[in-house]
Amino acid sequence: AQTVTQSQPEMSVQEAETVTLSCTYDTSESNYYLFWYKQPPSRQMILVIRQEAYKQQNATENRFSVNFQKAAKSFSLKISDSQLGDTAMYFCAFTYPGGSQGNLIFGKGTKLSVKP
Amino acid sequence: DTGVSQNPRHKITKRGQNVTFRCDPISEHNRLYWYRQTLGQGPEFLTYFQNEAQLEKSRLLSDRFSAERPKGSFSTLEIQRTEQGDSAMYLCASSLGGWSEPGTDTQYFGPGTRLTVL
């Protein structure tokens, strides 16, 4: 069974600083996809970044980047130059091809507070 | 592209009543997913449609739950004889599909329907 673990229930960071959110996963699949989603308070979940397991290069999206360590099954999210609007729940998620599902498997989330 | 929409956004009901939620996916997305999110948890998969066919159901989806996607467009999720344990946020997501395998394309989420069962 696939599992996703986020070991940091809550984190805080000062505006303009850098913060790293941790995520580990467990799978026997060799081909899979990893995601970070952001869920602001009372707002909908939006995609932050996506990583294909077959790509060695770490994905980046503006101030957001990941550190993907396939052997260690680790997928951390780094947010640079944190902004107040980054305050949200962040979910790490996993999916893999094959079968008829394709559903996302989520971690429990990390609540990030960006302080002025 | 107007994004995934869900209605209603909030629903308060009494135990034992039936409720129905609607999801309108991004147009041309042929894959549609329902998830349930309880307080302090990540979303959990409920069911999956490819076009109008319901291809997968989680064990979380008891026989009180039913979902449809007529004509492969919008989808409805109905809960019969609601229980207090059904209180949660119900999220809908869609993905493009096409020739790609399930599990390879990105899912886009709606704002959710928050259900409170009194």
pLDDT digits (tens, 9 = 90+) for A57-86: 999 999 999 999 999 999 999 999 999 999
Phi, psi (deg, nearest 5) at residue A71: -65, -40
Task: Give the list of residues 6+ apart from residue B90 with CB closer than 8 angstroms, or none.
Answer: B6, B21, B34, B35, B36, B37, B46, B77, B112, B113, B114, B115
State the maximum Cα–Cα separation within chain A, in Å, rounded to a whole number. 46
> What is the predicted pLDDT for the residue at B7?
97
pLDDT in tens, B70-118: 988 999 999 999 999 999 999 999 999 877 777 788 999 999 999 999 9
Distance from C-alpha of B107 to C-alpha of A101, rounded to nearest angstrom: 13
Nearest CA in chain B to A50: B106
Q: Is residue B40 left, alpha or beta, with left meaning phi > 0 and alpha meaning psi from -120 to 50?
A: left
Q: Are B33 and A104 in contact (CB < 8 Å)?
A: yes
Portion 37-76 of A in contact with B at CB < 8 A: 37, 43-47, 50
| A85–B contact, CB cutoff 8 A | no
Which of A18, A30, A31, A22 minimizes the C-alpha distance to A4?
A22
Query: What is the distance in angstroms between the CA of the first residue and the CA of the last residue of chain B?
Result: 36
| B1–A contact, CB cutoff 8 A | no
Nearest CA in chain B to A33: B104
> What is the predicted pLDDT for the residue at B1?
54
Cβ neighbours around A51 below 10 Å, total: 19
> What is the predicted pLDDT for the residue at B67?
96
* Residue from the list A32, A33, A44 with its beta carbon closest to the beta carbon of B109: A44
